[in-house]
Structure 1
Amino acid sequence: MSGTGTSSSARARVEIVDCMRLAAALSVMAYHYLYNGIRNGKVTSISHEPIAHIAQYGYLGVNLFFMISGFVITASVRGKTARRFAVGRALRLYPAFWVALGITTVFALVLGGDRMGVTATQVLVNLTMIPSELGQPYVDGVYWTLLYELQFYVMVFVLVVCGQGRRLAALMPAWALLMLYIDVAAPQLGGAAPYLGGYFVWFAAGAVIASIVESGWSLYRGAGLLAALLSITDLEMSLTSGLETLVFLMMLSTVIPQVRSLRVPGSATAGALTYPLYLLHAHIGYMLLDRFATESTKWLAYALVTGFVLALAYLLHVTVERHPLSRRFWHWLLDGTVGRAAGLLEAGAEALRTAEGRRRRRRETLSA
Structure 2
Amino acid sequence: MVELSPPALARPRVPERNAGRFALLDGLRFAAALTVVAFHFTARKTDAWATPVSEQSPAVFDLTKYGVFGVDLFFVISGFVILMTAWGRPLHQFVSSRVSRLYPAYWVCVLLTAGVLVFNGAHWFTTSDVLINLTMAQEAFNVPHIDGVYWTLWVEMRFYALMAVFVIVGISERRLIAFSVLWPVVAAIAEKTHLDFVAYVLVWQHAALFAGGMMLFVIIRNGHEFVRWLAVGTDLLLALATSAPEAAQRILGTTGSGVPSLAAIGCVLLCFVAVALVTMTPLRRVNWKWLSVLGALTYPLYLLHEQIGWAVIEHTQQLGWFPAALLAAAIALGLAAAVHFLVERPGGPVLRRRLTAGLAPAMSGSTRPTGTTTAENLKVSQS
SS at match of 1:266: helix
What is the distance in 1 between the residues matched to 2:184 and 2:264? Answer: 19
Residue 347 (structure 1) aligned with residue 354 (structure 2): no
Mapped contact 1:108–1:118 kept (Cα < 8 A): no
Equivalent AA in structure 2 for residue 33 of structure 1: F
Of 3, 6, 9, 2:14 maps to 9
What is the distance in 1 between the residues matched to 2:293 and 2:204? Answer: 33
Aligned match of 1:199: 206
Mapped contact 2:90–2:367 kept (Cα < 8 A): no
Equivalences for residues 39-78 of structure 1 within 5 A: 39=45, 41-48=46-53, 49-50=57-58, 51-78=60-87
Equivalences for residues 1-368 of structure 1 within 5 A: 1=5, 2-3=7-8, 5-6=10-11, 9=14, 12-36=20-44, 39=45, 41-48=46-53, 49-50=57-58, 51-114=60-123, 117-162=124-169, 164-165=170-171, 167=172, 169-179=173-183, 181-182=185-186, 188=192, 192=196, 193=199, 194-195=201-202, 197-234=204-241, 238-294=262-318, 296-323=319-346, 326-327=347-348, 329-331=350-352, 334-335=355-356, 339-340=358-359, 343-347=361-365
What is the distance in 2 between the residues matched to 1:313 and 1:191? Answer: 40
- Point out the more displaced range, 252-261 or 105-114: 252-261
Mapped contact 1:67–1:203 kept (Cα < 8 A): yes
The percent of aligned pairs where both chains have the same amino acid is 29
Summarize the Cα distance change of 1:285–1:157 in structure 2 as closer, same or farther, 3 Å threshold: same
What is the distance in 1 between the residues matched to 2:326 and 2:67? Answer: 18
What is the distance in 2 between the residues matched to 1:184 and 1:83? Answer: 31
Summarize the Cα distance change of 1:214–1:349 in structure 2 as closer, same or farther, 3 Å threshold: closer
- For structure 2, list consecutive stretches of 5 or more residues without a partner in the other structure: 246-260, 369-383
Equivalent AA in structure 2 for residue 89 of structure 1: R
Q: Tell me the TM-score normalized by structure 1.
A: 0.83
How much does 1:191 deviate? 8.6
- For structure 1, list consecutive stretches of 5 or more residues without a partner in the other structure: 351-368
Equivalent AA in structure 2 for residue 174 of structure 1: A
What is the distance in 2 between the residues matched to 1:27 and 1:195? Answer: 26
RMSD: 2.5
SS at match of 2:286: coil
What is the distance in 2 between the residues matched to 1:278 and 1:265? Answer: 21
Larger Rg belongs to:
1
Encode CA deviations 1:90-128: one digit per residue, 9 max, x unaligned: 1111111001111001001111424xx431010011111
Q: Tell me the TM-score normalized by structure 2.
A: 0.80
How much does 1:183 deviate? 7.4
What is the distance in 2 between the residues matched to 1:204 and 1:211? Answer: 11
Equivalent AA in structure 1 for residue 336 of structure 2: A
How much does 1:6 deviate? 3.9
Higher relative contact order (CA 8 A, sep 6+): 2
Equivalent AA in structure 1 for residue 111 of structure 2: G
What is the distance in 1 between the residues matched to 2:80 and 2:194? Answer: 22
